[in-house]
Amino acid sequence: MGEQQRVEILKMLYRGARVLIMDEPTAVLTPQEVRELFATLRSMTERGHSIIFISHKLDEVLDIANRVTVLQHGRATAAGLDATGATKSELARLMVGAKWSLMWKRNP
Protein backbone atom coordinates (compact mmCIF):
# COMPACT_ATOMS: atom_id res chain seq x y z
CA MET A 1 0.00 0.00 0.00
CA GLY A 2 2.81 2.40 0.84
CA GLU A 3 4.28 1.92 -2.61
CA GLN A 4 0.91 2.62 -4.24
CA GLN A 5 0.64 5.86 -2.26
CA ARG A 6 4.10 6.93 -3.37
CA VAL A 7 3.15 6.30 -7.00
CA GLU A 8 -0.02 8.41 -6.60
CA ILE A 9 1.98 11.22 -4.96
CA LEU A 10 4.51 11.13 -7.79
CA LYS A 11 1.68 11.32 -10.34
CA MET A 12 0.28 14.41 -8.63
CA LEU A 13 3.71 16.06 -8.51
CA TYR A 14 4.29 15.24 -12.18
CA ARG A 15 0.99 16.95 -13.01
CA GLY A 16 2.16 20.07 -11.17
CA ALA A 17 0.01 19.83 -8.04
CA ARG A 18 1.07 22.22 -5.28
CA VAL A 19 -1.52 21.02 -2.74
CA LEU A 20 -2.04 17.41 -1.71
CA ILE A 21 -5.13 16.38 0.28
CA MET A 22 -4.82 13.07 2.11
CA ASP A 23 -7.75 11.50 3.98
CA GLU A 24 -6.71 8.90 6.58
CA PRO A 25 -3.60 8.04 4.52
CA THR A 26 -2.03 5.82 7.18
CA ALA A 27 -5.07 3.61 7.83
CA VAL A 28 -3.64 0.56 6.06
CA LEU A 29 0.09 1.27 6.34
CA THR A 30 2.66 -0.51 8.47
CA PRO A 31 4.63 1.59 10.98
CA GLN A 32 7.62 1.55 8.60
CA GLU A 33 5.44 2.74 5.72
CA VAL A 34 4.06 5.54 7.91
CA ARG A 35 7.61 6.70 8.69
CA GLU A 36 8.47 6.64 4.97
CA LEU A 37 5.28 8.52 4.06
CA PHE A 38 5.98 11.18 6.69
CA ALA A 39 9.54 11.60 5.40
CA THR A 40 8.13 12.12 1.90
CA LEU A 41 5.54 14.62 3.15
CA ARG A 42 8.16 16.59 5.10
CA SER A 43 10.34 16.72 2.01
CA MET A 44 7.41 18.00 -0.03
CA THR A 45 6.60 20.79 2.43
CA GLU A 46 10.25 21.81 2.50
CA ARG A 47 9.97 22.28 -1.27
CA GLY A 48 6.93 24.54 -0.89
CA HIS A 49 4.06 22.10 -1.31
CA SER A 50 1.03 22.27 0.97
CA ILE A 51 -0.47 19.14 2.46
CA ILE A 52 -3.85 18.72 4.06
CA PHE A 53 -3.64 15.66 6.28
CA ILE A 54 -7.02 14.41 7.54
CA SER A 55 -6.82 11.89 10.37
CA HIS A 56 -8.29 10.78 13.66
CA LYS A 57 -4.88 9.48 14.78
CA LEU A 58 -3.85 12.30 17.08
CA ASP A 59 -0.27 11.06 17.59
CA GLU A 60 0.26 11.19 13.84
CA VAL A 61 -1.39 14.60 13.52
CA LEU A 62 0.90 16.05 16.16
CA ASP A 63 3.91 14.36 14.56
CA ILE A 64 3.35 15.64 11.03
CA ALA A 65 1.35 18.87 11.26
CA ASN A 66 2.51 22.46 11.54
CA ARG A 67 -1.01 23.78 12.06
CA VAL A 68 -4.19 21.94 13.05
CA THR A 69 -7.85 22.58 12.36
CA VAL A 70 -10.28 20.50 14.42
CA LEU A 71 -13.82 19.72 13.30
CA GLN A 72 -16.75 18.70 15.46
CA HIS A 73 -19.99 17.81 13.67
CA GLY A 74 -18.58 19.36 10.49
CA ARG A 75 -17.77 22.72 12.08
CA ALA A 76 -14.36 24.06 13.01
CA THR A 77 -13.78 24.23 16.77
CA ALA A 78 -10.20 25.38 16.21
CA ALA A 79 -8.53 26.65 13.06
CA GLY A 80 -4.83 27.19 12.45
CA LEU A 81 -3.86 25.93 15.91
CA ASP A 82 -0.07 25.73 16.28
CA ALA A 83 0.67 22.00 16.44
CA THR A 84 3.92 22.58 18.34
CA GLY A 85 2.15 23.41 21.60
CA ALA A 86 -0.94 21.24 21.08
CA THR A 87 -1.65 18.10 23.08
CA LYS A 88 -3.68 15.01 22.32
CA SER A 89 -6.05 15.78 25.19
CA GLU A 90 -6.61 19.31 23.90
CA LEU A 91 -7.36 18.04 20.39
CA ALA A 92 -9.67 15.34 21.77
CA ARG A 93 -11.56 17.95 23.81
CA LEU A 94 -11.95 20.10 20.69
CA MET A 95 -13.18 17.06 18.74
CA VAL A 96 -15.77 15.81 21.22
CA GLY A 97 -16.50 18.85 23.36
CA ALA A 98 -15.71 19.61 27.01
CA LYS A 99 -18.76 17.76 28.35
CA TRP A 100 -17.87 14.49 26.64
CA SER A 101 -14.20 14.88 27.36
CA LEU A 102 -14.90 15.09 31.10
CA MET A 103 -17.15 12.01 30.96
CA TRP A 104 -14.47 10.13 29.06
CA LYS A 105 -11.88 10.84 31.78
CA ARG A 106 -14.23 9.67 34.54
CA ASN A 107 -15.13 6.40 32.82
CA PRO A 108 -12.00 4.97 31.19
The pLDDT value recorded for residue 99 is 56
pLDDT digits (tens, 9 = 90+) for 69-97: 999 888 998 999 999 989 998 998 888 87
Confidence tier at 101 by pLDDT (50, 70, 90): very low
pLDDT digits (tens, 9 = 90+) for 15-31: 988 999 999 999 988 99
Phi-psi region of 87 (alpha: psi -120 to 50; beta: other; left: phi over 0): beta
Alpha helices in 19-72 (DSSP H): 31-46, 58-64
pLDDT digits (tens, 9 = 90+) for 38-53: 998 999 999 999 999 9
Dist. CA 108–CA 99, nearest whole Å: 15
